Amino acid sequence: MEFKEAARDFLSYIKVTRSNGTFRYNKSKCSVLIEYFNTTDINIINKKVLIKFIEDIKERNPDISPVTINKYIATIKRIIKYNLEKEVEFEKLPETRKVIPVLKKSTIHKLFSHFQMNLNNIEKTRNYVLFKLLYDTGLRINEALNVKISDICFDSNTILVRVTKTNNERYVFFSFSTAELIKQLITRSKNKIEDYLFISYRKNHRITVDNVMKIAARIKDSLDLEESIRPHKWRHTFATNFLNNGGNLEALRQILGHSNLTTTQIYLHIDKENLHKEYFKQYNHSRNSAKSLSITV
């Protein structure tokens, strides 16, 4: 069986059994793999073939990370397992554990202040609600864009998230200030919003992930922000804040919609701001102790 045929059969299976996000992820990986393996018989793909694949993609892109390579290898293994019902043994490449990027408080303050001064603009109000909701809930951007008005309960400040990466519905919660903004957005959009909360007022349909990425890039440039405000960064920021404020790891797992606790544990770190604060708290304590000792002597 040719690899390109096996990959397409695998994608057809993913499309009907997994979420749209999982399908898009696998489709992007398969497009690269089909170009490389093409008519290669999947029966001959073994450890030696995978090593040659890694050598070739490293030669093509010297900066490719072990994380990305591991994702390609994992996809190849899933394609083979789906089509041949057999496992290909291959150890993951060592990965560098990178610092989880979170938003600076100054960036969030600057952005929210900008929105608060432009609440007469319906599109900026919508964008404000979207970023506030990401900040409050840790929702993935596709999950947030699929929120319907009927999914929101203002009595408990709760959203039932129906469209999820794992296909498992869950609840998330939002602040009272965000609740007031959502109500304001719904009231002002009552002649246009009938279903989804976040819509394009020009085209009268739900906005897309690409729309949000363009909005985020445009805001960054217009406000001259020092850092990106891409949607997933808000999810990282929510998770880090939740744990830094004493939140429970298992509760965070359920709120974020992770299938297992291992995924959530990537947030068990002290962010730079807290690290800075802890360092200088100890530094100042040591310096004051030294001064006190000097005076005593």
Backbone angles phi, psi at 182, to 5 degrees: -65, -45
Backbone angles phi, psi at 250, to 5 degrees: -65, -40
Is 97 in the active site?
no
Backbone angles phi, psi at 159, to 5 degrees: -120, 130
Tokens 């489709």 sit on residue: 27
List 258, 277, 279, 287, catalytic entry: 258
List 29, 78, 126, 140, catalytic entry: 140
CB 64 within 8 A of CB 58: yes
Instruction: Enumerate residues 6+ apart whose C-beta is below 8 A from 37.
Output: 3, 4, 7, 45, 53
List 105, 183, 218, 232, catalytic entry: 232
Is 24 in the active site?
no
Is 269 in the active site?
no
Comparing CA positions, the residue from 76, 127, 67, 75 lying closest to residue 94 is 67
Cα(277)–Cα(283) distance, integer angstroms:
10
Cα(203)–Cα(186) distance, integer angstroms:
17
Q: Which parts of 155-231 are beta strand (E)?
A: 158-161, 170-173, 199-200, 205-206
Is 109 in the active site?
no
CA 140 centroid distance within chain: 5
Tokens found for residue 249: 């790891």
List 29, 78, 132, 235, catalytic entry: 235
List 29, 126, 132, 165, catalytic entry: 165
Is 287 in the active site?
no
Residue 70: CB atoms within 10 Å: 17
Is 206 in the active site?
no
Beta-bridged to residue 171, according to DSSP, are: 160
The residues annotated with a catalytic role in the active site are 140, 165, 232, 235, 258, 267
